[in-house]
């Protein structure tokens, strides 16, 4: 519905909406209770008309074309608008002028300048006019933010238009009902007044009759006078009673009608207030967007007034510009050819002199000179030919120089030689030499110039090669890590992680072993949402609070400006387009510095499947599969993630993340949008991640991704992210898949929000947990993740916890909850998040029989089946990577007996006997003195200590 209305937004439908606003505004003349809501909407009509015009949408590749104009025309202005006398990168500008984008660009800029000037003649949103002062830095920022500001203005205009069309008829209808109810009340008032007057007249007439009777019989005997008086009073009583009875019924009905109409008046008044509130809300949003749009348009119009005339002149002089550029490319070639011709002439002249000396020597000796004469004649011909060629090239060179000077003189702007960026710039500069120099001096000067240019190119090549080798080393290191991970994880870790995890009651053993080997997670996972309104010291304090809870991975939730593009380079502040939160660059930098100091990693949240609404330029060539509407306004357009989408979309975000020193990017997704539309549209999330990994690695960045309900999860996707991150909405079906696939072996992040209260209304992930308090769900899910060696998304913004998918909506953790999170229970029961079959298998594996433990040549203890499989394909240690001295395995009896004793202690109900049996076995020592891990201590460390003690004979 919203998409259809959006397509119908135009000048005609806007005029219809404004006509409704005019009708509503006229009602204020009749009722002074109404405010200026509708007048305010009419005051904004000029910008509304601008946003409704089809021409307001920029042409295709508008952003690239304007960036070319900035680089060529604005960068060399030095801050002066019309005084820009140089043209930077003329080749790039010529390509633009030759392309089909030039004419639409000129037409759009001309139309935009006139349209914005028309707006200034009316009542603008701020009452100010567009200034014509050009500030190059602000103009560049305005150009970069123009698509987002234009789109935001059009979205808010569309929302206000929809509100006028929707709320205007309601306002007129409620106003009409209000007027009718007031008229009915007034009619009841008049009727009842008339009835009261009639009753008074009847009583007055009856009383007059009574007086007349008394006066008529005033001379009669008293009994007669009493009788007459009594009869008259009875008549008065009868008339008054009839009138009272009739009026009671009439008054009762009239009172009900009067109160009903009063209720209708109150209801209509409330409805009118709600209608105006809805319209005012959209008016305020549009006014804010219009204010920002005005600020951007100020600089854009100021530069457009300078840019358009220059572009039109250059368009007219395109032939001269092309000739000048071709001559600039041709001159170095002619110069080199002339130099070669002069070298050839010198060589021929030298050969001729040698031949003449040999001929003279032969004549003195009296030898035959026929052959010598022939050779001498050939040398003379060669000299004449070389001289003729050198003179022709010299003349051609001079002609090219004259033509170049003429072409450049005809251009309105001077071509900037240093901006060409080509290897021919040095030889071109060498043409401006003293014309009185001899050929030998000119040749020496040219050789020196070429030598200098060659040395500069060698220096540049050396730097590029060093950078290339540095990147190759990084790539090679990542390949080695990936190879170790791929080889070690399936072969070695199943035995250790699958059987030892939770075996001896020590928390976190699987997670710690995995962290030791592969470094998937630096610690637990948290988030940040407050990026403005706090000091840098407060930002560092929040990171320190989370670090005390072992948080080492931080997601920066919605710290960007929009979905299509990142904020401009160096921009100090911006507003998040999703929820209008302010973001300060200094606060971000303070967070990131504190995270680095804590040994953690920072991840920039970027939605991989979204653009700003209506961003046709970025969406060009890619399929838009839907639009997300929030609070009646379009929030984002949904795009299917593919490799080609990554190539267009990801690099700009990588540069932004690298600029702020983020560790990497967390690519969020929207899952299989709207019941499978993403898959139907050809979504390839693993391919997207493979492509983004290449782009981010070139910038020294890492990446993670959100596999919403398992969307896009595969071995290929797992190989290109630092660790898996699953947001599960379907329990237990998808949560079971998470624990079986992504969380197997640990090192994954699980996002499953605990909710706001025990009712869990509208919370899909908690529909099976109605009646369970969020604090209990939080504790259970935290424990389930910890016991399986994974992390649960819970803690953020210091010591606060998440409630729903809207991260900023957090509540403070209590002291008891913090202690509970720091010391989770030892039992790993997470069957509520597994399927039935998984729960049964987990129960069967809960108390495994003692495995066969063996010592390898590296001194570490392994399960025999796992290490034998490893050694069948490797000759190195899976723990250290060093080459093993031999492949013989020795059973670790000491550790085996230790485990058997501890298992018997756990299974024997008689705790005292169990302790004796476990601690006094012959030759085994006392294991009760072995330390249990303290809260927060890794269980793997304790087991490793026990292994080493077993080897040293301490047990």
Give the pLDDT confidence of 175-220 residue by residue, as tens digits. 888 888 888 888 888 888 888 888 888 888 888 888 888 888 877 7
Q: What is the CA radius of gyration of the chain?
A: 44
Q: Judge whether residue 10 has pLDDT over 70.
A: yes
* 3 state SS of 918: helix
Buried b (16+ CB within 10 A) or exposed e, 931-940: eebeeeebbb
Count of other CB atoms within 10 angstroms of residue 411: 17
Q: Judge whether residue 918 has pLDDT over 60.
A: no
Of 293-302, 342-351, 555-564, where does the model show the most confidence?
555-564
Q: What is the mean pLDDT of residues 381-403?
A: 87
Q: Say what the pLDDT of residue 408 is.
A: 78
Cis peptide before 732 (omega within 30 of 0): yes
Sign of the dihedral defined by the CA atoms of residues 738, 742, 747, 753, in that order? negative
Buried b (16+ CB within 10 A) or exposed e, 530-557: bbbebeeeebbebbebbbebbbbbbbbb
Give the pLDDT confidence of 222-269 residue by residue, as tens digits. 888 888 888 888 888 888 888 888 877 787 777 888 788 788 888 888
Q: Which residues pair with 198 in a beta bridge?
A: none
Give the pLDDT confidence of 330-340 residue by residue, as tens digits. 888 888 888 88
- CA neighbours closer than 13 Å in the CB half-sphere of residue 694: 9
Please provide the DSSP assignment of 187-247 as one string. Answer: HHHHHHHHHHHHHHHHHHHHHHHHHHHHHHTTTS-HHHHHHHHHHHHHHHHHHHHHHHHHH
Confidence class for position 521, pLDDT limits 50, 70, 90: confident
Q: Which residues pair with 603 in a beta bridge?
A: 555, 664
Please provide the DSSP assignment of 844-881 as one string. Answer: HTSSPPPP-EEE-TTS-EEEHHHHHHHHTT-SB-TTT-
Distance separating alpha carbons of residues 807 and 35, to the nearest angstrom: 37
Residues whose CB falls within 8 Å of the CB of residue 536, separated by 6 or more in sequence, listed in order:
586, 587, 589, 590
Confidence class for position 107, pLDDT limits 50, 70, 90: confident
* Eight-class DSSP state of 421: -
Q: Judge whether residue 900 has pLDDT over 80.
A: no
Let me know: does 115 contact 101? Beta carbons within 8 Å: no
Let me know: does 786 contact 792? Beta carbons within 8 Å: yes
Conformational region of residue 127, where left means phi above 0, alpha means psi within -120 to 50, and beta covers everything else: left
Distance separating alpha carbons of residues 287 and 113, to the nearest angstrom: 21
Q: Looking up tokens 């052959």, which residue turns up?
A: 371
Buried b (16+ CB within 10 A) or exposed e, 3-34: eeebeebeeebbeebbebbeebbebeeeeeeb
Q: Say what the pLDDT of residue 814 is.
A: 87
Of 269-278, 536-545, 627-636, where does the model show the most confidence?
536-545
Count of other CB atoms within 10 angstroms of residue 822: 12
Q: Judge whether residue 499 has pLDDT over 50.
A: no
Distance separating alpha carbons of residues 10 and 484, to the nearest angstrom: 60
Confidence class for position 130, pLDDT limits 50, 70, 90: very low
């Amino acid at each position: 519905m919203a998409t259809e209305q959006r397509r119908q937004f135009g000048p005609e439908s806007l005029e219809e909406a404004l006509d409704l606003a005019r009708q509503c505004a006229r009602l204020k003349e009749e009722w002074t209770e109404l405010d200026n809501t509708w007048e305010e909407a009419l005051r904004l009509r000029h910008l509304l008309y601008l946003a409704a015009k089809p021409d307001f949408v920029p042409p295709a590749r508008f952003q690239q074309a304007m960036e070319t104009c900035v680089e060529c025309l604005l960068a060399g202005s030095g801050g002066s608008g019309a005084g820009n006398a140089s043209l930077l990168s003329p080749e790039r500008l010529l390509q633009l002028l030759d392309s089909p984008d030039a004419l639409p660009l000129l037409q759009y800029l001309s139309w935009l300048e006139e349209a914005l000037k028309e707006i200034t003649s009316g009542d603008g949103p701020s009452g100010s006019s567009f200034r014509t002062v050009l500030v190059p830095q602000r103009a560049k920022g305005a150009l970069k933010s123009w698509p987002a500001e234009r789109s935001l203005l059009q979205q808010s205009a569309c929302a206000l238009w929809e509100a006028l069309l929707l709320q205007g008829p309601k306002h007129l209808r409620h106003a009409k009902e209000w007027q009718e109810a007031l008229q009915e009340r007034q009619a009841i008032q008049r009727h009842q007044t008339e009835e009261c007057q009639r009753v008074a007249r009847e009583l007055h007439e009856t009383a007059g009759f009574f007086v007349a009777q008394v006066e008529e019989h005033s001379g009669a005997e008293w009994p007669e006078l009493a009788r007459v008086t009594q009869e008259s009073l009875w008549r008065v009583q009868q008339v008054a009673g009839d009138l009272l009875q009739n009026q009671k019924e009439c008054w009762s009905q009239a009172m009900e009608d009067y109160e009903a109409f009063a209720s209708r008046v109150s209801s209509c008044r409330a409805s009118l207030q709600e209608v105006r509130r809805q319209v005012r809300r959209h008016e305020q949003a549009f006014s804010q967007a219009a204010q920002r749009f005005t600020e951007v348009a100020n600089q854009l119009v100021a530069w457009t007034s300078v840019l358009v005339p220059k572009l039109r002149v250059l368009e007219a002089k395109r032939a001269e510009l092309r000739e000048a550029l071709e001559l600039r490319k041709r001159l170095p070639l002619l110069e080199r050819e002339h130099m070669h011709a002069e070298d050839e002439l010198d060589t021929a002249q030298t050969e001729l002199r040698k031949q003449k000396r040999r001929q003279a020597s032969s004549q003195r000796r009296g030898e035959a000179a026929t052959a010598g004469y022939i050779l001498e004649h050939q040398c003379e011909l060669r000299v004449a030919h070389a001289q003729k060629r050198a003179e022709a090239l010299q003349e051609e060179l001079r002609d090219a120089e004259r033509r170049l000077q003429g072409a450049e003189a005809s251009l309105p702007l001077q071509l900037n030689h240093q901006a060409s960026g080509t290897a021919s710039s040095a030889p071109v500069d060498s043409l401006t030499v003293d014309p009185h120099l001899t050929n030998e001096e000119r040749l020496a000067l040219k050789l020196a110039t070429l030598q200098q240019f060659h040395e500069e190119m060698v220096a540049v090549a050396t730097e590029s090669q060093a950078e290339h080798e540095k990147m190759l080393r990084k790539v090679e290191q990542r390949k080695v890590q990936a190879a170790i991970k791929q080889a070690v994880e399936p072969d070695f870790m199943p035995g250790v992680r699958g059987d030892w995890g939770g075996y001896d009651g020590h928390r976190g053993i699987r997670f710690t072993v995995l962290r030791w080997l592969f470094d998937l997670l630096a610690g637990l996972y948290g988030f940040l949402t407050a990026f403005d309104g706090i000091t840098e010291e407060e930002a560092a304090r929040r990171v320190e609070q989370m670090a005390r809870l072992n948080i080492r991975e931080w997601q920066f939730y919605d710290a960007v400006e929009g979905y299509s593009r990142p904020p401009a380079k160096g921009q100090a502040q911006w507003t998040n387009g999703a929820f209008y939160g302010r973001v300060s660059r200094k606060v971000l930098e303070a967070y990131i510095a504190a995270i680095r100091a804590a040994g953690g990693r920072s991840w920039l949240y970027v939605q991989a499947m979204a653009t700003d609404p209506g961003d046709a330029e970025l969406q060009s060539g890619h399929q838009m599969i839907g639009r997300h509407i929030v609070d009646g306004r379009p929030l984002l357009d949904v795009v299917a993630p593919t490799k080609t989408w990554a190539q267009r979309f990801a690099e700009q975000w990588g540069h932004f993340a690298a600029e702020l020193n983020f560790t990497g990017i967390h690519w969020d997704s929207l899952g299989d949008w709207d019941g499978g539309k993403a898959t139907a549209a050809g979504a390839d999330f693993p391919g997207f991640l493979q492509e983004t990994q290449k782009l981010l690695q070139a910038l020294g960045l890492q990446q993670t991704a959100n596999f919403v309900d398992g969307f896009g999860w595969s071995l290929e996707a797992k190989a290109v992210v630092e660790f898996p991150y699953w947001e599960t909405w379907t329990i237990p079906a998808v949560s079971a898949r998470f624990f079986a696939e992504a969380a197997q072996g640990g090192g994954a992040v699980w996002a499953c929000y605990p909710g706001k209260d025990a009712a869990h209304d509208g919370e899909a992930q908690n529909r099976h947990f109605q009646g369970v308090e969020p604090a209990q769900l939080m504790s259970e899910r935290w424990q389930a993740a910890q016991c399986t060696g994974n992390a649960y998304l819970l803690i953020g913004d210091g010591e606060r916890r998440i409630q729903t998918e809207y991260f900023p909506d957090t509540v403070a953790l209590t002291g008891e909850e913090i202690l509970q999170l720091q010391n989770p229970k030892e039992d790993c029961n997470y069957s509520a998040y597994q399927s039935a079959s998984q729960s049964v298998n987990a129960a069967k594996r809960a108390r495994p029989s003692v495995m066969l433990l063996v010592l390898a040549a590296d001194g570490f203890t392994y399960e025999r089946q796992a290490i034998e499989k490893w050694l069948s394909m490797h000759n190195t240690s899976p723990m250290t990577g060093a080459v093993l001295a031999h492949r013989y395995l020795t059973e670790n009896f000491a550790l085996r007996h230790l485990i058997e004793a501890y298992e018997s202690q756990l299974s024997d109900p008689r705790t005292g006997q169990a302790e004796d049996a476990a601690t006094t076995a012959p030759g085994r020592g006392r294991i009760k003195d072995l330390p249990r891990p303290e809260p927060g201590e890794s269980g793997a460390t304790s087991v490793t200590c026990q292994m080493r003690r077993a080897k040293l004979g301490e047990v």
